Amino acid sequence: RLFRENACATCHVGPALGGLSFERLGRRADYFADRGGVTETDYGRFNVTGEERHRFAFKVPTLRNVAVTYPYFHDGSQKTLADAVRAMGRYQGRRPFTEAEVEKVVAFLHTLTGEYEGQLLK
C-alpha cells in the first residue's frame, strides 16, 4: 500500500518493478546539493545523449533482488536499503517516509528477493 500511495509504482513498473525508464533524480528536493557537489557521473543519461533534459536522469533500477544489490544509487551513497528508501521518499516520493514506513517498505522489498538453484540469493 505504501509503495503505491507514495507513487513508487509510477517508475518502478513492469514484471521486474523497474528498468523501463530514465528519471531525473531529485524531483522533490535537490539530492546533489544535499549530498554535496556534482560530479560528471551525476550528469547521468546526459553523458550519453548530450541532451539537456537528460541531465541528472538515471535508469530506474529493477527492484527484483534489490535487497542484495547494495550499495544503492548511481554513486553508491546509500549504504543500506533503509537509507535508499528514506532517500527515495525525500527526493522522489510524494513525501518523506516515517521510520515505521521505512521498515514496512524495506520488508516489502525483501519479498522481491529470488532464488537461484533452490537457494535464496544473499
pLDDT per residue as tens digits for the range 65-100 = 999 999 999 999 999 999 999 999 999 999 999 999
pTM equals 0.92
In degrees to the nearest 10, what's the CA dihedral of 118, 121, 16, 12? 150
Hey, is 44 helix, strand or coil? Answer: strand
Average pLDDT by consecutive 10-residue portion of the chain (122 residues)? 92 94 95 94 98 97 96 97 97 95 97 92 86
Grid coordinates representing 99 are 521510520
Residue 28 φ then ψ, to 5°: -105, -25
Grid coordinates representing 57 are 536522469
Q: How many CB atoms lie within 10 A of CB 91?
A: 20
Cβ within 8 Å of residue 33, ≥6 positions away: none
Grid coordinates representing 60 are 530506474
pLDDT of residue 120: 84
Distance of alpha carbon 67 from alpha carbon 49, whole angstroms = 30
pLDDT of residue 40: 96
